[in-house]
Amino acid sequence: MIGIEDKVVAITGASSGIGAATARLLAARGAKVVLGARSADRLGALVARITEDGGAAAHIVTDVRRRGDLSALVAFAGERFGRLDVLVNNAGIGPISRIDDLCVDDWDEMIDVNLKGTLYGIAAALPVFRRQGCGHVVNVISTSGLKIVPLQGVYAATKNAVRTLSEALRQETVEGLRVTNVSPGMVRTGFADSMTDPAMKAAINERMDRMAISPEAIARAIAFAIEQPADVEVGDIVIRPTVQD
C-alpha cells in the first residue's frame, strides 16, 4: 500500500500531545486510526472529533505497562477494521532527576512505560504483520538519547534502549516489515506532567513555553515515514526546534 489512505494505524499514548496530533493528521489523510491510552474520556472526545470531521477512528483503554492491553489494542484494530498496517509506539513518560537522587520508583516507571511498553507493542503486532506479509513499526524516541545531558540519564537510557531494539528488529525482520524511529526534541506537550520534582517540572515548562515546537510537527514526520512506498524504509528522523542545542 502506497500512501496513508485506508491504512489502519494503532497509536499508543494517543489521548494528547504527539499521539493525538498524529491521530488527527493521519485520519484527515484517510487512515483508520485505533487509539490507545489510559484516559477513556480523552480518547472518547478525540474519536468524536475525528469522526465529526469525517475520519474513521476507534479507541480502547490501553495501559502500555500491561502486555495484555497491547494485545487487546492490536486485536481490536483487526476486529474493527480488518487488519493492522502500522503500530506507533508513542506512549512515554519522563520524570527526570539526578541519578544520585535515587528516584528508583521513577526509574522503574520509565522502564515499564518507555521500554517494556514498546516491547509489548512489538510483541503484539509482529504476529499480525507476519501473517499479512507487511507492517510498519514506528517508535517515538527522543533527542535525549542522542545528546546525553545531566538529569536525563535514566530517561535517555530507556530511549536509547528502544533505539538499539529498533535497529536489531530492522535487521532481523523479513521483507515487508518497516521500522522507523522518530526522535523529537522539545515539543509542546504534557511531558512535564509525570515529573515528581516541582522545581524540575517548573523549569521544563518554562523552557517548553520559550522554545518548544508543536506536536503537529512530529505528526507530519510520522506521516512522512508511513506514506512512503512499501519498498522504502525511513529509518530515523530527528526533528527539533531550530534553537535547541
Residue 120 is a catalytic residue: no
Domain layout of the chain by residue ranges: 8-239
Q: How far apart are CA 133 and CA 53, in angstroms?
A: 32
pTM of the model: 0.95
Axis crossing angle, helix 215-226 with helix 17-28, rounded to the nearest 10: 50
The per-residue pLDDT string of the chain (245 residues; one tens digit each, 9 = 90 and over) reads 579 999 999 999 999 999 999 999 999 999 999 999 999 999 999 999 999 999 999 999 999 999 999 999 999 999 999 999 999 999 999 999 999 999 999 999 999 999 999 999 999 999 999 999 999 999 999 999 899 999 999 999 999 999 999 999 999 987 899 999 999 999 988 877 777 778 777 878 888 788 899 999 999 999 999 999 999 999 999 999 999 88
Q: Of 138, 43, 47, whose CA–CA distance to 84 is shortest?
A: 138
Tell me which CATH code domain 8-239 carries.
3.40.50.720
* Catalytic one of 107, 120, 129, 155: 155
pLDDT at 26: 98
Q: What angle do CA 156, 216, 46 make, to 5 degrees?
A: 100
How many CB atoms lie under 10 A from the CB of residue 8?
Answer: 20
Q: How far apart are CA 156 and CA 142, in angstroms?
A: 8
CA 29 distance to own-chain centroid = 19
Element (H, E) at 124: helix 117-132
pLDDT at 157: 97
Q: Which three cell numbers stand for residue 202?
A: 517548573
Percentage of the chain exceeding pLDDT 70: 100
CB-count exposure of residue 150 (10 Å: 0-12, 13-18, 19+) = exposed
